[in-house]
Structure 1
Amino acid sequence: MLLCAVLVSGWSGVSLAQPPVGGTLPEFTLSAPKDGGEKSYLGLSWLNRSFRIPELKAQVVIVEIFSMYCPYCQAEAPKVNQLYGMIEGNPVLKGKIKILGIGVGNSPYEVGVFKKKYNIPFPLFPDGDFRIHKLMGEVRTPYFIGVKIGSDGSHSVFYSKLGAFDSADSFLKSVIRLSGLQ
């Protein structure tokens, strides 16, 4: 009987593996930010209501999987903000590398509280129902994924790791080296 229930449900409760280096991101969409500045940062037109990460106007996207309740994510926030500042302050990297965060188990309100409390300058997206989190293999937080986007819209994961990084500078150097960004 239990086997029948599992087969009928289509294994919907089973999570996938974390995104492997050399693989691709699972298929999911995010709602476009309402904020015009965040839409512009991501390279989305005002017509976009939703998007997939490989559709962003960037060569590299760094995805941070976080939770507002995660003390490690809270401690990491200043370094991630510093990383964002280093990218946006460098005319060679600005526009080529984008950062976004996905708040697992967090409502829009909770993501907003985290964004305000830690002065997060890049877009954050709620995943209140854990849908994206399950697709990402239910990784612990903070978890960073580096995605290289091809000019043809293809993409590949070049970085997929749990935990904080040592410094914004060393992490940025790793992102540039591992992604092959020129």
Structure 2
Amino acid sequence: MGLQKRFSFLIVFLAAVLAAGLGRPGWGLAESCIPGVGETFPPIALEAPKDPAMRAYLGIGDVQTFTVDQVDADVVVVEIFSMYCPHCQREAPTVNAFYEVAQKKNRPEKTLKILGVGAGNSPFEVDVFAKKYSVPFPLIPDGDYSVHKTLGQVRTPHFIAVKRGADGSRKVVYSQAGSFGSPEDFYRRLMEP
């Protein structure tokens, strides 16, 4: 292959990569991206938990699907996890401890709730993870990866915190893969004005 053909191939390849969007809004035809701080969380329809206690925890009533904006809390933390992810398994006790901190510190005028979305996980797999790690908060299956794809195919675990503003709007205040560190410090960071 001559130098000119190689150069032409490289130009076509780079144009295709740019057209694919590189996962950034405003770039080409990208359909998904990781919501960044200050952005809104996409209005993704999540499967409502079957357990009435989990529905009550989320404050969503008797619906088939819900969005993060419908969760009755000032701050909602969404964990994207997978039953098969060793990092998610290792992080599970810390996430459970974070849930306990939130339960103890929440006040009627200021609440934080957490839910997990199992990327590529069926209802069975989500239940296995919940039982094995004694997860006390709702875990939502995402067997077809639709939520995971919409959120930019983030690495797991990935934590996204969405905060309700004084005007009722919801914005992402935290979006990060991996451990969030100390449960106490993370709660304080998210609940500060």
**TM-score with structure 1 setting the length:** 0.85
User: What 5-or-longer segments of structure 1 have no aligned partner?
Assistant: 7-12
**Max radius of gyration: which structure?**
2
8 Å contact kept, 2:80–2:157: yes
> Is 1:155–2:156 an aligned residue pair?
no
Per the alignment, residue 92 of structure 1 pairs with 107
Partner residue of 1:16? 32
- From the superposition, tell whether residues 94 and 36 of structure 1 become closer, same or farther in structure 2 (CA, over 3 Å): farther
Tell me what 1:118 maps to: 133
Q: Which residue does the alignment assign to 1:103? A: 118
Partner of 1:75: 90
CA distance in structure 2 between the partners assigned to 1:120 and 1:147 by the alignment? 21
Q: 1:58 aligns with which of 46, 67, 73?
A: 73
Return the TM-score normalized by structure 2. Answer: 0.80
Number of residue pairs the alignment of both structures matches: 168
The structure-2 alpha-carbon separation of the partners of 1:91 and 1:51, relative to structure 1 and needing over 3 Å to count, comes to closer
Change beyond 3 A, Cα 1:155–1:91: closer
Of residues 51, 55, 69 in structure 2, which corresponds to 1:39? 55
Q: CA RMSD in A?
A: 2.2
Structure possessing the higher relative contact order (Cα contacts under 8 Å, 6 or more residues apart):
1
Give secondary structure in 1 for the equivalent of 2:105.
coil
Q: For 1:116-164, what per-residue CA distance to the aligned partner results, in whole angstroms no more than 9, with x for missing partners?
A: 0000000000111110101101100000000012466521000000111
> Per-residue CA shift, 1:38-57, capped at 9, x if unaligned?
010001223x2211110111
* 3-state DSSP of counterpart to 2:53: helix
**What is the percentage of aligned positions where both structures have the same residue?**
48
Q: Which moved more, 1:88-97 or 1:105-114?
A: 88-97
Which SS does the other structure have where 2:162 is aligned? strand
Q: Distance in 1 between matches of 2:87 and 2:136?
A: 19
Q: Does the 8 Å CA contact 1:147/1:155 hold for their aligned counterparts?
A: yes
After superposition, give the CA deviation of every residue in 1:24-79 in whole Å (9 maximum; x if it has no partner).
Answer: 11221112111110010001223x22111101111110000000111110010001
Q: Which residue of 1 aligns with 2:149?
A: 134
